[in-house]
């Protein structure tokens, strides 16, 4: 029996009479990572890889603590933002000059995670916490620009890559929420609707909210931006979009919390997380918990669009790209 079934989009459709949805939903710094940690602990209970999900739950909880301790960081001023004119996001991941504070966040995370990491990764995490700034900045460039070949060569294992990416997530989340508070109106639409309007990173998944509103969830800063349903998040085609979901073993059961949107025009896919069915669902956590969907689509030659910084692996696109 096939794991996947095709069909019409599930969930409510967008209705013309509904009010225009907010374009941007910013991360909630008081609970964005702790809510993810809770979801990961829940998903680990029925997972084929519970240890990895529990590790990610500990990491998300440590990210929450790190975010709450994160110092104020330099931000672009209003004059710089005015020059961008919607062509670039205000905090572009691919060219932003990172403040040293992110390195301190990384060192704290690497130390905190040593007791939760698999035995084989603890020494590597300790080395990561002690590494020189230049080395860590190079690793960050690898993560943000998608140079997984070098990482696979042995310098940064899966656990260390997740911790390093976790520090970058905390840093960008801090910047986005601080910028929104300091300069109201600084964050909004940019020319490229397929990447995050705050930092330019790719989405990890779509999140479907009430009334069929679809948001793309940024893999890096955690912002969500609105994109209408039935549109490819990669090539923006509105034709040839199909939806697939895990087939319940007995053909019945609850509707799944994760679907896949496949574009036949560019042969890319992006998962859809149904937050309107389960308000504990999380864009990153629910993606991590459904690797079988990725395996089946990759077997069919359909390329993944979403990037998950907790599990950077072959086949994922770069987190961000040059403008
Ligand atoms: Zn972003
Ligand atoms: Zn497409």
Name the β-bridge partners of 244. 6, 260
Name the β-bridge partners of 242. 262
Residue ranges making up the domain that contains 200: 4-10+192-304
Could you say which ligand is closest to the alpha carbon of residue 175? Answer: 1
Angle, vertex CA 282, rays to CA 277 and CA 284, nearest 5: 140
Measured between alpha carbons, how far apart are the two ends of the chain, in Å? 43
Separation of 234 CA from ligand 2 center, angstroms? 5
Separation of 25 CA from ligand 1 center, angstroms? 11
Instruction: Assess whether 160 and 35 both reside in one domain.
Output: yes
The last residue of one of the domains, among 153, 182, 211, is 182
- Take residue 44 and report the two structure tokens written for it: 């680990």
Separation of 214 CA from ligand 1 center, angstroms? 16
Write the CATH number for 126.
3.90.1670.10
Q: What is the domain count for the chain?
A: 2
| Residues 174-231 pLDDT 10s | 999 999 999 988 999 999 999 999 999 999 999 999 888 999 999 999 999 999 988 9
Distance from the Cα of residue 43 to its chain's centroid: 17
| Residues 66-104 pLDDT 10s | 999 999 999 998 888 888 888 899 999 988 999 999 999
* Rounded Cα distance, 42 and 53, in Å: 9
Separation of 260 CA from ligand 2 center, angstroms? 13
Could you say which ligand is closest to the alpha carbon of residue 169? Answer: 1
Query: What's the pLDDT score for residue 97?
Result: 93
Closest CA to 220 of 253, 174, 182: 174
Could you say which ligand is closest to the alpha carbon of residue 168? Answer: 1
Could you say which ligand is closest to the alpha carbon of residue 203? Answer: 1
Q: Percentage of the chain surpassing pLDDT 90?
A: 67
Q: Which residues surround ligand 2, an ion (CB under 5 A)?
A: 232, 234-235, 237, 263, 265-266
- Take residue 89 and report the two structure tokens written for it: 């996001």
Instruction: Assess whether 168 and 276 both reside in one domain.
Output: no
Which of 11-25, 49-63, 176-190, 282-296 is predicted with the least confidence, judged by mean pLDDT? 11-25
Please report, to the nearest 10 degrees, the dihedral formed by the alpha carbons of residues 157, 199, 204, 16 taken in order.
180
């Amino acid at each position: 029996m096939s794991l996947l079934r095709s069909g019409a989009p599930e969930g409510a459709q967008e209705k013309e009479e509904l009010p225009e949805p907010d374009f941007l939903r910013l991360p909630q710094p008081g609970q964005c990572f702790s809510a993810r940690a809770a979801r990961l602990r829940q998903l680990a209970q029925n997972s084929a890889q519970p240890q990895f999900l529990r590790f990610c739950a500990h990491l998300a909880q440590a990210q929450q603590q790190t975010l709450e301790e994160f110092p104020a960081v330099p931000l672009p001023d209003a004059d710089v933002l005015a020059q961008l004119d919607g062509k670039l996001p205000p905090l572009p991941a691919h060219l932003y000059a990172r403040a040293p504070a992110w390195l301190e966040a990384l060192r704290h995370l690497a130390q905190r995670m040593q007791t939760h990491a698999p035995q084989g990764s603890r020494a590597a995490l300790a080395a990561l916490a002690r590494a020189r700034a230049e080395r860590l900045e190079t690793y960050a460039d690898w993560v943000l620009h998608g140079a997984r070949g070098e990482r696979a060569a042995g310098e940064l294992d899966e656990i260390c890559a997740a911790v390093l990416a976790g520090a970058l997530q905390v840093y960008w989340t801090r910047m986005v929420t601080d910028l929104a508070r300091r300069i109201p109106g600084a964050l909004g639409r940019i020319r490229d609707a397929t990447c995050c309007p705050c930092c330019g990173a790719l989405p990890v998944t779509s999140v479907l909210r009430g009334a069929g509103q679809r948001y793309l969830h940024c893999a890096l800063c955690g912002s969500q931006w609105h994109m209408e349903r039935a549109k490819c998040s990669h090539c923006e085609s509105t034709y040839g979009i199909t939806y697939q979901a895990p087939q319940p073993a007995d053909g019945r059961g609850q509707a799944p919390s994760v679907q896949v949107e496949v574009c036949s025009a560019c042969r890319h896919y992006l998962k859809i997380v149904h937050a309107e069915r389960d308000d504990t669902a999380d864009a990153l956590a629910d993606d991590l918990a459904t690797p079988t969907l990725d395996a089946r689509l990759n077997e069919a030659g359909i390329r993944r669009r979403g990037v998950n910084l907790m599990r950077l692996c072959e086949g994922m696109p770069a987190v961000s790209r040059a403008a």
